[in-house]
Amino acid sequence: MANLKDLRNRIASVQSTQKITKAMKMVAASKLRRAQEAAEAARPYAERMENVLASLASSMVGQVGGPKLLAGSGSDKRHLVVVATSERGLCGGFNTNIVKAARARINHLIAEDKDVKIVTIGKKGAASLRRDFGTRMARHFDMSHVKHLGFADAGPVTDYLLSAFEAEEFDICTLFYAKFQSALTQIVTVQQLIPASYDADNVTDLGGAAYDYEPDENEILDQLLPRNVGVQLFRALLENAASEQGSRMTAMDSATRNAGDMIDSLRTTYNRTRQAVITNELIEIISGAEAL
Q: Residue 275 carries which side chain, given as an amino acid letter?
A: Q
Q: Lay out the site mask for other proteins across 126-165 (x = CB under 8 A, - = otherwise).
A: ------------------------xx----x--x------
Distance of CA 159 to the CA centre of its chain: 21
Q: Between the CA of residue 92 and those of 61, 98, 244, 277, what are the distances in Å?
A: 44, 12, 9, 41
198 binds other proteins (CB under 8 A): no
72 three-state secondary structure: coil
One residue of 144, 192, 204, 254 binding other proteins per CB under 8 A? 204
The residues assigned a catalytic role are: 91
Range 23-42, binding other proteins (CB under 8 A): 38, 41-42
Nearer to other proteins, 42 or 266 (CB): 42
Question: Contact at 8 Å (CB) between 179 and 101?
Answer: no
Q: Residues 131, 90: contact at Cβ < 8 Å?
A: no
- Find out whether 85 and 144 touch, Cβ atoms under 8 Å: no
**Exactly one of 11, 29, 46, 110 binds other proteins (CB under 8 A); which one?**
46
Compute CA 72 distance to the chain's CA centroid, rounded to the nearest angstrom: 27
CA 37 to chain centre: 17
Applying CB under 8 A, the site for other proteins has a residue count of 34
Axis crossing angle, helix 94-111 with helix 123-133, rounded to the nearest 10: 30
User: Could you tell me which stretch among 7-15, 46-54, 64-72, 252-260 binds other proteins (CB under 8 A)?
Assistant: 46-54
Instruction: Tell the smallest beta-carbon distance from residue 20 to other proteins (Å).
Output: 33
Round to whole Å and give the CA distance between 278 and 290.
Answer: 18
Pattern 209-248, other proteins, x by CB under 8 A: xxxxxxx---xx--xx--x--xx--x--------------
Least Å distance between CB 240 and other proteins? 16
Instruction: Give the footprint of other proteins on this chain (CB under 8 A).
Output: 38, 41-42, 44-46, 48-49, 51-52, 55-56, 150-151, 156, 159, 204, 206-207, 209-215, 219-220, 223-224, 227, 230-231, 234
